Amino acid sequence: MSTDQQPRANSGVFRTKSVEQSIRDTEEPEHALKKSLSAWDLTVFGVGVIIGTGIFVLTGKVAKENAGPATALAFVAAGIVCALAALCYAEFASTVPVAGSAYTFAYASIGELPAWIIGWDLVLEFALGTAVVAVGWSGYVRSLMDNIDWHLPASLQGPDVPGGSFDILAFLLVLVLTAVLVLGMKLSARITAVVVAIKVTVVMIVIIAGLFFIVGDNYDPFIPPAVTPEGGGSNWDSPLVQLLFGYEPTNFGVMGIFTAASVVFFAFIGFDVVATAAEETKVPQRDMPRGILGSLLICTVLYVAVALVVTGMQHYTELSVSAPLADAFKAAGHPFYAGVISFGAAVGLTTVCLILLLGQTRVFFAMSRDGLLPRFFSVTHPRFKTPYRPTILLGVIIAIVAGFTSINELATLVNIGTLFAFVMVAVGVMVLRRTRPDLHRAFRTPWVPVLPILSIAASLWLMLNLPGETWFRFAVWMVIGIVVYFLYGRGHSRLGREGREARY
């Protein structure tokens, strides 16, 4: 029997769904998404979601606390870690052009339970990411409103503000973006393209203007002498590697660059969301690798340039942590640029929210189409061909969460979820190379298995640098997910039902 007709395992929690079956499922009229995206659209989505608060905030924080001017090298190191994962994503997304990203890839290679776990993880990652970014966007917009003497009532400014209880701006942003996603991917792509153009223009203005205020002495020393961070290693806020092995990450020095890389990595989060749009891409075999790798390359270059400019404008010991770019221009006597940067950050976060919400709804849609979640959610809109039911449901829930909740402490869950997805995709590439060597791969990850193994090692190292408290919360969410799978998903799985029908 051919591999097209017979998946590697038809029963048990590690049954796999063949690539051919995954692609056939995308052709069912009621469950099909409209193909409207090009390589350019995908690259714009990638740049739109990657460039967010990281480029405006993390640069100064890391330069002051971890690496000094060598922060530029930390961005390079983090970019290399992401590139390793991106090469694995590119092979999968071009070979299995189906909505769901790492969830779909795991289902085709490792099995149903690992796929469910990664899908459950991604739903949390994208939901929290959307809510956190919406709250951050609200803060930037309120700051801009204050500049023109417009003030919201304290009660509508959110729980992070004294006297606040509901963040009306974050709530409305998520609802508006939900409506945009329901109306169609091409509309989303056009809006994103406009916003990304504004955002990149602002970043380029910062880079070019900042070049005129660089002082060479601020780069001395480029790699400051190493120091050991103060504080013990026994509390839950400490990195897991410190709790397990007593290892204390070093600030500054050569090792400080890698400590900084584990922090600035989070500025790259989002390129994997591009893979969730594989099913809506016109020529995924060609365009998915271009979109994933192109957006990552563009953002890495911009991040390195910004890091060099800001540490050249102001000595790293004097940088502010909350608004380093804006404050560096103020210190240089040019406050006008601070307003430009705030505007760029507010505009930029709009696309981050949009694309994170897009990623979550596509993963939810794919899990529903496979029967692991109710099939009710996998019916597409008759006119717009978008998964409108999960988009509306999740959009409303996230809007409420963003409106009522202060979730800064949960933001690191987004990071651990992303790194976990990186590991699963790298494993999946190696497994599928062995189990399905016959598959046509328009893009092949080079140096398999060496490159995927390097990707796994790099991702695990960054995961170990996350706080122990984050690991505990992540474990609790995973346990809840496994319980839901055995209570509902396993019994309603389409693959499982087909296997049972084949036996009887």
CB 370 within 8 A of CB 106: no
Burial of 483 (C-beta count, 10 Å sphere; 0-12/13-18/19+): exposed
Look at residue 500 and tell me if it is in a domain: no
Average pLDDT value over all residues in the chain: 84
Q: With 60 as the cut, is the pLDDT of residue 1 above it?
A: no
B/e letters for 440-464, b = 16+ CB within 10 Å, e = fewer, are ebbbebeebeebbeebbebbeebbb
Lowest mean pLDDT among 240-254, 304-318, 450-464: 240-254
- Predicted confidence at residue 84, as pLDDT, reads 94
Facing residues of 157 across strands? Answer: 167
Phi, psi of 314, rounded to the nearest 5 degrees: -140, 140
What CATH number did the domain enclosing 48 receive?
Answer: 1.20.1740.10
Is 14 within the bounds of a domain? no
- The stretch 158-177 carries a mean pLDDT of 86
Is 99 in contact with 366 (CB distance < 8 Å)?
A: yes
b vs e for 359-373, b when ≥16 Cβ sit within 10 Å of the residue's Cβ? bbbbbbbbbbbbbbb
In whole angstroms, give the CA distance from residue 106 to residue 99. Answer: 12
Per-residue pLDDT, 11? 58
- Say which residue, 51 or 407, is predicted with more confidence: 51
Q: Which residue has the higher pLDDT, 308 or 142?
A: 308
Q: Is residue 272 part of a domain?
A: yes
Structure tokens at 256: 């400080």
Mean pLDDT of 154-162: 77
- CA dist 14 and 10 (Å) reads 9
pLDDT tens-digit readout, 89-129: 989 888 888 877 889 999 999 999 999 999 999 888 888 88
Local structure of 25: helix, strand or coil: helix
Q: Tell me how far apart the alpha carbons of residues 227 and 335 are, in angstroms, rounded to a whole number.
A: 34
Q: How far apart are the first and last CA of the chain?
A: 18
Above 90 in pLDDT, residue 440?
no
Which of 95, 55, 459, 76 is closest to 275 using CA atoms?
A: 95
Q: CA-to-CA distance for 289 and 42, rounded, in angstroms?
A: 10
Overall domain count for the chain: 1
227 pairs with which residues across the strands?
251
- Provide the pLDDT for residue 9: 44
pLDDT in tens, 217-228: 999 899 999 887
With contact defined as beta carbons under 8 Å apart, do 19 and 95 qualify? yes
pLDDT at residue 229, rounded to an integer = 67
Q: What is the pLDDT of residue 449?
A: 95
Least confident of 99-103, 339-343, 392-396: 339-343
Q: Say yes or no to pLDDT of 420 above 60.
A: yes
* Statement: residue 318 has pLDDT above 60: yes
| Over residues 209-222, mean pLDDT | 91
* pLDDT (0 to 100) of residue 324: 79
Looking at residue 129, what is its pLDDT? 81
Is residue 236, in this structure, part of any structural domain at all?
A: yes
Residue 384 in any domain: the answer is: yes
% of the chain surpassing 90 pLDDT: 33
Mean pLDDT of 144-151: 77
**Contact predicate 191/291, CB 8 Å:** no
| Torsion angle (degrees, nearest 10) of CA 218, 220, 222, 226 | -120
pLDDT for 249: 64
Gap between the Cα atoms of 24 and 100, Å rounded: 15
In the block, tokens 């705030």 appear at: 342
Min mean pLDDT across 177-191, 201-215, 438-452 is at: 177-191
pLDDT of 250 above 80: no
Q: What is the pLDDT of residue 382?
A: 87
Predicted local confidence at residue 476, as pLDDT:
92
Q: Report pLDDT for 371.
A: 93
What confidence score (pLDDT) does residue 351 get? Answer: 80
Position 412 scores a pLDDT of 63
- What totals of helices (H) and strands (E) does the chain contain, helices first? 20, 0
Residue 90 lies in a domain: yes
| 499 within a domain of the structure (yes/no) | no
50 in any annotated domain:
yes
The answer, yes or no, to whether residue 400 has pLDDT greater than 90, is yes
* Helix, strand, coil percent content, the chain, rounded in steps of 5: 70, 0, 25
* Residue 4: predicted pLDDT: 43
What is the reported pLDDT for 151?
79
Name residue, tokens 């000595």.
315
Can you give the C-alpha Rg of the chain in angstroms?
23
DSSP 387: -
Interatomic CA distance for residues 359 and 353, integer angstroms:
10
What residue spans of 96-111 are helical by DSSP H? 102-109
pLDDT of residue 442 exceeding 90, the answer is no
pLDDT of residue 234: 53
**Amino acid at the residue 161:** V
Alpha carbon distance 126, 418 (integer Å): 9
Packing angle, helices 468-484 and 112-147, rounded to 10: 130
Q: Containing domain of residue 230, as a range?
A: 34-493
